[in-house]
Structure 1
């Protein structure tokens, strides 16, 4: 049973999610303040964290920053409809996804399942021939599918589960266009009717991390294509 930590100051929200998620096979622990949430996080292992941006003691963004110091646990931010800046900042700081309050419970469950799946499954890439078992090598990227780790020009570089999923799918189809909607659905578990904030910010983050080790071209109105630098410059 997956263990979920909810950090949110709304007790009714906690009771509602606890009952609903228990029926879906999840165990939820609810903490109402950032201090209580961080203490629980430090004492137990969780499979996913639901984190409200607005907390009574410190900002949820500060909580996220502390979590990301030593953990890659999936984090879904709970935001208000008008918190556009906070959503972008949260994703830039390493959140995996966000959902706006009030939200349908089934939508939250779908986002949770997608985040947990990205974190737990080692992707397989039958469409390419790996350079060694469990590896994809493109340009200056060496992607280990078994350990979910990536070296950028020989240097171990941290990527979130969402970023890894995007890179894996682009690398597996190196030199070929991946449609934007396809990448949203396959890599992020979102269908085309969702807004694409998440993909935009994740793409910006991973481009910053990979530098010039490979090229990720944006095909306007279509999607993305990864190429090795020698291919891009040919």
Structure 2
């Protein structure tokens, strides 16, 4: 049974969603205060964290930022704030998905299952994508698949699970254009709907972490109307 820590201060919403998910083989533990969430993560060791944004003690965006370096599992924002800016900021801070509370429960369940499936695939991906000893080397960039570690100029580059998966996918197809459709199917387990900009946000975040200029990228390029390209020679 998968364990979810749901940080939500409205008891009615908390119990409603927890009841629905519990009927589908998910254990939901509710924490009502943001300033207690970090301690509860250490205590209950969840597989996924579901975060509201407006919380007493500490807001969900700050929590997402603080949790990301220390929690490798999916972080999903569940909020009533239908705001592009909040969605972009959440994804920039390391959230894996942004879901509105008005989303029908079956759709919420499906999207959480996608996150669990992606997490399971991420564990298996390095072994399936390459022999256990394989490391990808592009000049000063080294990507160690089995160890899920990245170094640039000899310095470790800390990446979230989803950021590493994206880099690994691009690196395994270095020199080839990866379309959004292919990336969404491989990394998210669903088709690209033509509107979701979360992959663009993830690419932008990855560029910053790898020292690529977001305004004029040379290492991970955007190929207009086609997708993204990791340039092998750009890391020399």
Distance in 2 between residues matched to 1:38 and 1:126, nearest whole Å:
34
* Secondary structure of 2:208 counterpart: helix
Is residue 138–residue 233 contact of structure 2 (8 Å, CA) maintained in 1?
A: no
Q: 2:117 maps to what in 1? A: 117
Distance in 2 between residues matched to 1:66 and 1:220, nearest whole Å:
34
Distance in 1 between residues matched to 2:49 and 2:128, nearest whole Å:
32
* Secondary structure of 1:224 counterpart: strand
Cα separation, partners in 2 of 1:111 and 1:149, compared to 1, 3 Å? farther
Q: Does 1:65 align with 2:65?
A: yes
* Secondary structure of 1:123 counterpart: helix
Q: What is the Cα deviation at residue 125 of structure 1?
A: 7.5
Number of residue pairs the alignment of both structures matches: 230
Distance in 1 between residues matched to 2:39 and 2:140, nearest whole Å:
40
Q: 2:75 maps to what in 1? A: 75
Cα separation, partners in 2 of 1:35 and 1:81, compared to 1, 3 Å? closer
Distance in 1 between residues matched to 2:50 and 2:222, nearest whole Å:
32
Q: 1:221 maps to what in 2? A: 225
Which one is further off, 139-148 or 160-169? Answer: 139-148
Q: TM-score by structure 1 length?
A: 0.86
Q: 1:56 maps to what in 2? A: 56
Q: Deviations over 1:134-160 (max 9, x none)?
A: 422234332222232222232211111
Is residue 220–residue 228 contact of structure 2 (8 Å, CA) maintained in 1?
A: yes
Q: 2:188 maps to what in 1? A: 188
Distance in 2 between residues matched to 1:161 and 1:115, nearest whole Å:
11
* Secondary structure of 1:206 counterpart: helix
* Secondary structure of 1:158 counterpart: coil
Cα separation, partners in 2 of 1:69 and 1:135, compared to 1, 3 Å? closer
Q: 2:149 maps to what in 1? A: 149
Q: What is the Cα deviation at residue 58 of structure 1?
A: 2.8
Cα separation, partners in 2 of 1:205 and 1:150, compared to 1, 3 Å? same
Q: 1:103 maps to what in 2? A: 103
Q: Deviations over 1:105-148 (max 9, x none)?
A: 23323332333333342314877x76x71422234332222232
Q: 1:42 maps to what in 2? A: 42
Is residue 137–residue 143 contact of structure 1 (8 Å, CA) maintained in 2?
A: yes
Is residue 123–residue 168 contact of structure 1 (8 Å, CA) maintained in 2?
A: no
Q: What is the Cα deviation at residue 69 of structure 1?
A: 4.7
Which one is further off, 62-71 or 6-15? Answer: 62-71
Which one is further off, 162-171 or 138-147? Answer: 138-147
Distance in 1 between residues matched to 2:116 and 2:138, nearest whole Å:
26
Is residue 79–residue 87 contact of structure 1 (8 Å, CA) maintained in 2?
A: no
Which one is further off, 52-61 or 117-126? Answer: 117-126
* Secondary structure of 2:54 counterpart: coil
* Secondary structure of 2:106 counterpart: helix
Q: TM-score by structure 2 length?
A: 0.85
